[in-house]
Chains A and B, each alone.
Chain A
C-alpha cells in the first residue's frame, strides 16, 4: 500500500519538475527575444552610422549633400524644445500632484480627475499633435515654432509627470508631516519644507524619464509641420526648428533616393541614443543619491 503511494508520488514529482524546467526555458527565451532584437538593432545602427559620426557631422549645418550634412540645427532644436518642456511640465505637473494629493478632498471629483489623468497617459502621441496643431499652431497663431512644439510636448508628458509626482508624494512617510504639523507648521510650510524635499528625488526621476520620452517623440511634430529642409540654427524659443527624431524620419524617407541618407539617419540615431542614455543616467544618479538620505 505504501509502496504504491510512493511510486505515484514520485511520478507526480517528476512531472512537476519537468513542467518547472520547461517553464524556466520558456521565460528565458522570452527574455532573450528582447535582448536579441535590441542587439541586432544596435549592431545595425552602429555598423551603418558609426563611420559617419565625426566632429563635422555633429557641429555642421543641415544639407541635401550627405558628405557635408550636419545635425547641429537639430541638436539645438532639441535643446530649445527641452527648455520649454522642462519648466512647463515641472510646474504644472508637480502643482497638479500637490493639489490632488494634499489639498483636494478625496471624493467623486478627485476620483474623476485621477481616472482621466491616467487615461490621458495612454492617449497616442499623434492625438496630442493634432491638439497642438489646433490650439497652439493655429488658434494661438504660433505656427511651427519651438514654443508651439514645446507646449504640445508638455501636454504629452504631463500625465506621466503628474502620476510619478503623486507616487513620490504618497511615499513620503506620514510621521514626517505629522511631526511638522505637531510643531505648529502650516500646510504650505509642511509641503515646502518637509514633503517636497523628501519627494524630490522621485519627482525628478519621473520628470527626467518623461523628458527623454519627449526628446524621442516624432508624431506630434510631424502633425505641427516641421520643414524637411531648415538650415539656419534656431536661436530661441520663437524660431522655427527641427529636432533629432524628425531628421531621422526625413532621412529614412529619402534613403531610396540618396542611399547615404540611411547612414546619416543611423548616425543621428546614435547621437539621440547617447543623449537619452545621459538623461536616464542622470535620473538614476539622482535617485540613488537621495534615496540613502531618507
Chain B
C-alpha cells in the first residue's frame, strides 16, 4: 500500500515536469528563434519584424567573451531589460576573450563577443570561412595600471622603461636597488593575470613588444588573488585593468608613470583617448554578428541601445568613455542595418 502512495507521488512529480515543459514551450520557441535555425522560427522572425514599429520585442540576445568587459556589458544589459524591452532576455556570460570567440565563430553562435583585445587574424579568417560577417564596435578605454603595496614608498613614480625592465626576461633587474641605488636591496615580486586574459596579451604584445616575461613572474587566473597578493607583499607589483585598481584603492597604490613629461596618475581623465596616460591605454571591444543583427530585431535594437548608452556607464565600471565621433559612427552603421 505504502509503495503505491510513493509511486503516486513520483507520478505527480513527473506530471508536473511535463506540464512545466509544455508551459515553457512558447519561451523555448524564442530560444530557437534566437538561434534562427529552423523554418518555424523564420516565420516568427518575420512577425516580430512587423511588430518592430510598435517597439515591443522579445527573444534573447546572447553575449559572451571577456571578463574584463563583463561588468560594463552586464550593467548596460540590465538597464536595457529594465527600461527598454522587458520581454527581451539579454544573457551575458564571461568565458574570456578567446574562449568567447570559439562560441562566437560557429554556426548559430553567440550574438556578441566582448573582447579586451582586437580580433586576431586567424579568428577573422575563420569568420570568413564560416561566412559570418563580423562588426567590431569599440566600447570603452581601459588603462593598464601597475599597482604596488601601500607601504611601498619608493616606487610610487616610475618610467615605462623601468616598469618594462621589471617584467622583461634578462633585463638584469631583480631587486629594487637595480632600478635605483637609493631603493631597498630587496627582491621585486612581479605578478599579473595569466595567458587566458586579454590583459596579458595586451601587455605581452603591445607593452613588451613580444619579448619574454621574466620567469619569476607570478601569473594568476583571478584578479582578486592578484589584489590580495600585492596588498600583502611590500615588494609586490602587478598589472591589470584600471577598474580593478579603482575598486581596491583602499588596499593598493597605483604607480604614477612618467612618460617623459612628468609622472601621470592613471585616472578616468588621463586614460582617455588623448589623455596623458594614453600610451598604456587600450581600447576594449564587442564584436557583433551582423547576420544575427539583421535577422533578429532584438539583437539590432540592443546593439543600438548599447552604442547610445555606452559612455554613460563606462565611468562607473572603471572605463574611460570613447570619443563622441566613434559613438556616432557606430550608431550610424547600426542604423544602416535597419530595413
What is A's interface to B at a CB cutoff of 8 Å?
A: 63-65, 80, 83-84, 86-87, 90-91, 143, 145, 192-193, 196-197, 200, 204, 225-232, 235-240, 252-259
Task: Report if B169 contacts A (CB, 8 A).
Answer: no
> What is the 8 Å Cβ interface bit string for chain B, positions 1-35, against chain A (1 contact, 0 not)?
11100100010011011001111110110010000
Known: A254-B71, A256-B247, A256-B248. A238 touches B13 (CB 8 A): no
- In the bound complex, residues from chain B placing their C-beta under 8 Å from that of A231 are 78, 81, 89-90
Task: Report if B70 contacts A (CB, 8 A).
Answer: yes
Main secondary structure of the interface of B (DSSP, over half): helix
Instruction: Tally the A-B contacts, defined by beta carbons under 8 Å.
Output: 111
Docked pose: A245 CA to B71 CA in angstroms: 20
User: Does the CB pair A256–B227 fall under 8 Å?
Assistant: yes
Docked pose: A236 CA to B25 CA in angstroms: 8
Most B Cβ at <10 Å: residue of A196, A239, A259: A239
Enumerate the 7 nearest inter-chain pairs by beta-carbon distance, A residue then B residue, closest first: A236-B24, A256-B224, A227-B91, A229-B92, A238-B28, A236-B20, A229-B74
Known: A227-B93, A229-B92, A231-B89. A87 touches B13 (CB 8 A): yes
Docked pose: A83 CA to B10 CA in angstroms: 10
Closest residue to B224 on the A side, CB-wise? A256
Closest residue to A83 on the B side, CB-wise? B17
Distance to closest chain A CB from B77 (angstroms): 6
Task: Report if B305 contacts A (CB, 8 A).
Answer: no
- In the bound complex, residues from chain B placing their C-beta under 8 Å from that of A80 are 20
Distance to closest chain A CB from B93 (angstroms): 5
Docked pose: A264 CA to B1 CA in angstroms: 46
- Specify which of B21, B78, B91 is in contact with A236 (CB 8 Å cutoff): B21
User: Does the CB pair A236–B27 fall under 8 Å?
Assistant: yes
Task: Report if B75 contacts A (CB, 8 A).
Answer: yes
Docked pose: A254 CA to B74 CA in angstroms: 12
Distance to closest chain A CB from B143 (angstroms): 15
- In the bound complex, residues from chain A placing their C-beta under 8 Å from that of B247 are 256-259
Closest residue to A254 on the B side, CB-wise? B71
Q: A225-B95, A236-B20, A258-B247 are in contact. List 13 more A-B contacts (CB 8 A).
A: A64-B74, A83-B20, A87-B17, A145-B31, A200-B3, A227-B62, A229-B77, A232-B89, A235-B20, A236-B28, A256-B247, A257-B243, A257-B244
Known: A63-B78, A228-B70. A192 touches B20 (CB 8 A): no
Known: A90-B10, A239-B24. A227 touches B71 (CB 8 A): no
User: Does the CB pair A230–B24 fall under 8 Å?
Assistant: no
- In the bound complex, residues from chain A placing their C-beta under 8 Å from that of B25 are 236, 238
User: Does the CB pair A228–B2 fall under 8 Å?
Assistant: no
User: Does the CB pair B93–A228 fall under 8 Å?
Assistant: yes
- In the bound complex, residues from chain A placing their C-beta under 8 Å from that of B318 are 257
User: Does the CB pair B78–A235 fall under 8 Å?
Assistant: no
- In the bound complex, residues from chain B placing their C-beta under 8 Å from that of A225 are 93, 95, 103
Distance to closest chain A CB from B134 (angstroms): 21
User: Does the CB pair A229–B223 fall under 8 Å?
Assistant: no
Docked pose: A94 CA to B173 CA in angstroms: 66
- In the bound complex, residues from chain A placing their C-beta under 8 Å from that of B27 are 235-236, 238-239
> What is the 8 Å Cβ interface bit string for chain B, positions 229-244, against chain A (1 contact, 0 not)?
0000000000000011
Task: Report if B94 contacts A (CB, 8 A).
Answer: yes
Docked pose: A177 CA to B90 CA in angstroms: 58
Docked pose: A229 CA to B89 CA in angstroms: 10
- In the bound complex, residues from chain A placing their C-beta under 8 Å from that of B78 are 63-65, 229, 231
